[in-house]
Structure 1
Amino acid sequence: MSADRFHLTEMRFMKRIVVGNDNPQSIRTEAEVQEQMDLVNRCLSATPRGYILGIEKSFGLYNIGEHQVVLQYAVYHIGFARKPHFLT
């Protein structure tokens, strides 16, 4: 068996990371969205290495006052063999 393969049975910890705006009451800034993407990248490249188990993509159309706003976000489900120390 190759060392780069993984099995779902080995996943002991799962992190759910929302990237984007999922709540119309508190819209995130570009810097906050970038921090979320940086966390996803760190989870996929740091030790222990995480694996993307699933991605949810969604959008919503909201009326805020006189304005119509479209909010988009993606949710990354990242699995780990053990909980990384940087997620405590």
Structure 2
Amino acid sequence: MFDLTDVGYVHRIVVGSINPEQLQREDEIRASTALLNRCLSDSPKGRIVGIEKTFSLLNIGEHQVVLQAMIYHVGFSRRPFWLEPSKEGQS
């Protein structure tokens, strides 16, 4: 049984683009998805404790750009040794 009081570390994983000046390439999206899968299957096994969904429409000149991202918050009882701390400073 999973209990939120057991969570001692939360890692944030962004899958998709949230910054129009730094669009994620396909290989970066695959790497983020692979990291999410590893967090949910490797030991210690993490659990998704929250999900943010973002969707933005931008007009750049005559073109319309759609930015979409899913941001997963994966909770662990402790930080896995194989997982680097979050670069955003929000861990």
- Computing the radius of gyration over CA atoms, which structure comes out larger, 1 or 2? 1
Greater helix fraction, Structure 1 or Structure 2: 1
**How far, CA to CA, are the matches of 2:43 and 2:51 in structure 1?**
21
State the aligned residue count.
Answer: 84
Letter in 2 for 1:76: Y
Matched, 1:36 2:22: no
Q: Choose from 78, 82, 85 the match for 1:82.
A: 78
What is the match of residue 61 of structure 2? 65
Structure 2 alignment gaps of length 5 or more: 85-91
**How far, CA to CA, are the matches of 2:45 and 2:53 in structure 1?**
23
**How far, CA to CA, are the matches of 1:41 and 1:16 in structure 2?**
13
C-alpha RMSD of the superposition = 0.8
Q: Percent identity?
A: 52
Structure 1 runs, 4 residues or longer, greater than 3 Å off: none
**How far, CA to CA, are the matches of 1:26 and 1:67 in structure 2?**
17
Letter in 1 for 2:47: Y
Q: TM-score, normalised by structure 2?
A: 0.88
Structure 1 alignment gaps of length 5 or more: none
Quote the offset at 1:6 in angstroms: 1.1
Quote the offset at 1:65 in angstroms: 3.0
Secondary structure of residue in 2 paired with 1:41:
helix
**How far, CA to CA, are the matches of 2:70 and 2:21 in structure 1?**
18
Q: TM-score, normalised by structure 1?
A: 0.91
What is the match of residue 27 of structure 1? 23
**CA displacement, residues 16-36 of structure 1 (integer Å, 9 cap, x when unaligned):** 111000100111101100100
Secondary structure of residue in 1 paired with 2:10:
strand
Matched, 1:56 2:52: yes
